[in-house]
């Protein structure tokens, strides 16, 4: 396909005062020749605007986006000799449901049939695989898109598809900014400010600058004719590189941030690749590689890589927006994320097993007690209810630490067709599912303990659920709010929801020591009292570590909490001691709910 004797259609759109729209090279020429009318160089950036005004003309973002789609469809129909029946649109990975819906409306407005949406980095990764690049199943790659803006995406290769793990973008640091900088350097004009009238000369200079930048990827210098009065100016590759290097370095920093958001390091990646029109610059890969700290490769045909990759996709394998269905996720989980689930899970299991060990220590006393006797210890055994409560809570914490994994895995198994949800919606669903799953495990703890001890179910289920339901409610509320707000942490959900694992270890060990002091040691002896006080001290330490994160705050909070729990420690107060830790963990999640509701960081991205 050829557009104005070019292999690709320039996306710019010009709306004449009468409402007639043109796209591509003709749009640039009309903008340079007319002092009235609306000119939009990148309509995809304005797709969410209900009204775009300029030069006495108004249009909607959807109408502007439809024009280049209509032009492309017309040329395609001429080439194939009939209507186009299979349409695939490549979009940035950060586009959520709102922009994707508007894009589909634009395609319908342009007369296109139902479209398949393919995220650009997924299409590039597919093109890499088709070009012979070896990426092992379970391996990770990073793809930088140096187009009109810059974007960085980390993908994992699943059994069948590439899955997006994290993505970040900066629309103000790509080819559009480079063209503005080169044009401003050619004649001293400042780039236009949004909402103000633009001198047509600017569009002429900008068009010449962009053409010169493309030509300089293959030659050391070009001559640019500036209007008026058609003065020739020599533009050299070093000049363009000086303007471009800060933009490529910005792309490198985005790449590093995207890798960190995926809980990885650059060394963990199977490769770092660049695509997009700007990737053809000889200095782009070197500048990005310097920031990332490892070699960077340019994909074959970088300007067309996403298009060619999308052409080989049989259906949309991935959703726009971030975390996608992960296949066989467990073996390839980063160690830190895996520990986030295993540490509280192991602590929970250990506490639960030790709670049940009371039957082995007193085999003659089970079963024989009434419902009230179990709660009051009237049958000769004091039950460590706090131990059961803390085991149930840590089971819920383990589920919540794996909420992001649940958010990625569960939608893949639903069998529901249609556009997958945005990252925030998926993460919100993962938190709700994790809260329900953790509560169910707590209930099973209570029922299982009662059955094993041949005891009434009531007190066991009551202690298991009362210690977990407040946290489950807060976590589920956080998930609902995250889905409603659509805010995505710049550092990624894994980092923002990273629970302080150090708090679970001393709290669990402290409760085990308290159980050991009264279950396996002589009563009212010096060693028993020392072990008991150490257990109470560790429970206070765990509560303080969960309550606050900054080191200075921990130094202030931990000592008094540990002193209080040490002072009140006793086998009869395990429920109170467990309550200290349970309240601290619930407060940690309340902080997350409060921040999401009232103070979301400005660095978060929002895509409604």
For residues 300-305, average pLDDT: 83
Q: Which two tokens stand for residue 75?
A: 């040329």
Peptide bond before residue 238 is cis, with ω within 30 degrees of 0: no
Distance CA 328, CA 576 (A): 41
Q: Which two tokens stand for residue 285?
A: 């890969």
pLDDT score recorded for residue 262: 85
pLDDT digits (tens, 9 = 90+) for 99-156: 888 999 999 988 888 888 889 999 998 888 877 777 777 888 999 888 777 888 999 8
Distance CA 465, CA 392 (A): 8
Judge whether 305 and 328 are in contact, CB under 8 Å: no
pLDDT score recorded for residue 46: 85
Choose among 68, 146, 155: nearest CA to 118: 155
pLDDT score recorded for residue 368: 56
Residues of 309-337 as b/e, b for ≥16 C-beta within 10 angstroms? bbbebeebbbbbbbbbbbbebeebbeeeb
Q: Which CATH number fits domain 114-324: 3.40.50.300, 3.90.650.10, 3.30.420.40, 3.30.360.10?
A: 3.30.420.40
Distance CA 558, CA 546 (A): 10
> Would the pLDDT of 328 be above 80?
no
Tell me the pairing of strands 13-15 and 38-40: antiparallel
pLDDT digits (tens, 9 = 90+) for 9-60: 888 888 888 888 888 878 777 776 776 778 788 888 888 888 888 777 888 8
DSSP-derived letter for residue 357 is: T
User: Rounded to the nearest 10 degrees, what angle do helices 501-519 and 385-401 cross at?
Assistant: 160
Q: Backbone phi, then psi, for 416, in 5-degree steps?
A: -85, 130
DSSP-derived letter for residue 3 is: B
Cα→Cα distances 319→88, 231, 315, Å: 14, 49, 11
Domain positions in the chain: 1-85, 114-324, 335-606
Neighbours of 11 (CB within 10 A): 22
For residues 153-169, average pLDDT: 85
Q: Backbone phi, then psi, for 20, in 5-degree steps?
A: -75, 135
pLDDT digits (tens, 9 = 90+) for 407-424: 755 543 333 333 334 567
- What is the DSSP secondary-structure string of 278-310? GGGSTTHHHHHHHHHTS--EEPSSTTTHHHHHH
User: CA geometry: angle at 492 spanning 489 and 493, to 5°?
Assistant: 85
pLDDT score recorded for residue 392: 95
């Amino acid at each position: 396909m050829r557009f104005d004797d070019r292999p690709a259609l320039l996306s710019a759109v010009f709306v004449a005062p009468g409402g007639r729209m043109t796209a591509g090279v003709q749009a640039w020429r009309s903008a340079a020749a007319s002092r009235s009318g609306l000119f939009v160089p990148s309509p995809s950036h304005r797709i969410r605007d209900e009204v775009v005004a300029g030069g006495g003309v108004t249009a909607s973002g959807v109408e502007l986006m439809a024009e280049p789609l209509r032009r492309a469809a017309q040329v395609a129909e001429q080439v194939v000799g009939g209507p186009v029946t299979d349409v695939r649109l490549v979009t940035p990975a950060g586009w959520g449901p709102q922009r994707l819906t508007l894009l589909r409306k634009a395609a319908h407005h342009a007369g296109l049939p139902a479209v398949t949406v393919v995220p650009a980095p997924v299409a590039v990764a597919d093109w890499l695989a088709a070009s012979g690049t070896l990426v092992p199943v379970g391996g990770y790659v990073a793809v930088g898109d140096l187009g009109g803006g810059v974007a960085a995406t980390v993908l994992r290769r699943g059994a069948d598809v590439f899955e997006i793990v994290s993505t970040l973008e900066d629309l103000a640091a790509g080819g559009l900014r480079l063209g503005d900088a080169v044009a401003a350097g050619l004649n001293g004009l400042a780039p236009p400010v949004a909402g103000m009238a633009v001198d047509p000369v600017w569009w002429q200079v900008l068009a010449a600058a962009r053409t010169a930048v493309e030509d300089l990827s293959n030659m050391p210098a070009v001559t640019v004719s500036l209007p008026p009065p058609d003065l020739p100016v020599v533009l050299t590759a070093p000049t363009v590189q000086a303007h471009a290097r800060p933009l490529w370095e910005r792309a490198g920093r985005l790449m590093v941030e995207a890798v960190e958001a995926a809980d990885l390091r650059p060394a963990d990646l199977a490769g770092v690749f660049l695509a997009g029109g700007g990737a053809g610059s000889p200095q782009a890969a070197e500048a990005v590689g310097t920031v990332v700290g490892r070699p960077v490769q340019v994909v074959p045909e970088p300007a067309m890589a996403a298009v060619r990759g999308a052409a080989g996709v049989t259906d949309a394998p991935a959703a726009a927006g971030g975390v996608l269905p992960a296949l066989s996720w467990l073996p390839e989980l980063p160690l830190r994320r895996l520990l986030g689930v295993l540490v509280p899970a192991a602590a929970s299991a250990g506490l639960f097993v030790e709670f049940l060990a009371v039957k082995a220590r007193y085999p003659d006393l089970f079963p024989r007690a009434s419902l009230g006797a179990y709660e009051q210890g009237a049958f000769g055994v004091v039950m460590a209810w706090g131990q059961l409560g803390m085991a149930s809570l840590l089971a819920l914490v383990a589920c919540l630490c794996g909420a992001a994994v649940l958010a990625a895995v569960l939608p893949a198994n639903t069998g529901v067709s249609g556009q997958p949800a945005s990252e925030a919606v998926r993460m919100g669903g993962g938190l709700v599912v994790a809260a329900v799953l953790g509560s169910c495990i707590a209930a099973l703890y209570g029922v299982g303990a009662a059955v094993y001890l041949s005891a009434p179910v009531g007190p066991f289920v009551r202690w298991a659920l009362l210690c977990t339901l407040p946290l489950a409610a807060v976590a589920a509320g956080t998930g609902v709010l995250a889905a409603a707000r659509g805010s995505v942490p710049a550092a990624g959900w894994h980092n923002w929801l990273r629970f302080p694992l150090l708090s679970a270890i001393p709290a669990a060990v402290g409760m085990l020591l308290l159980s050991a002091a009264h279950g396996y040691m002589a009563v009212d002896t010096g060693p028993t009292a020392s072990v008991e006080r150490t257990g109470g001290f560790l429970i206070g330490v765990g509560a303080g570590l969960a309550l606050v994160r900054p080191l200075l705050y921990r130094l202030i909070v931990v000592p008094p909490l540990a002193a209080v729990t040490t002072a009140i420690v006793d086998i009869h107060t395990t429920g109170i001691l467990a309550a200290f830790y349970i309240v601290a963990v619930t407060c940690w999640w309340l902080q997350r709910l409060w921040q999401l509701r009232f103070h979301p960081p400005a660095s978060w991205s929002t895509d409604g």
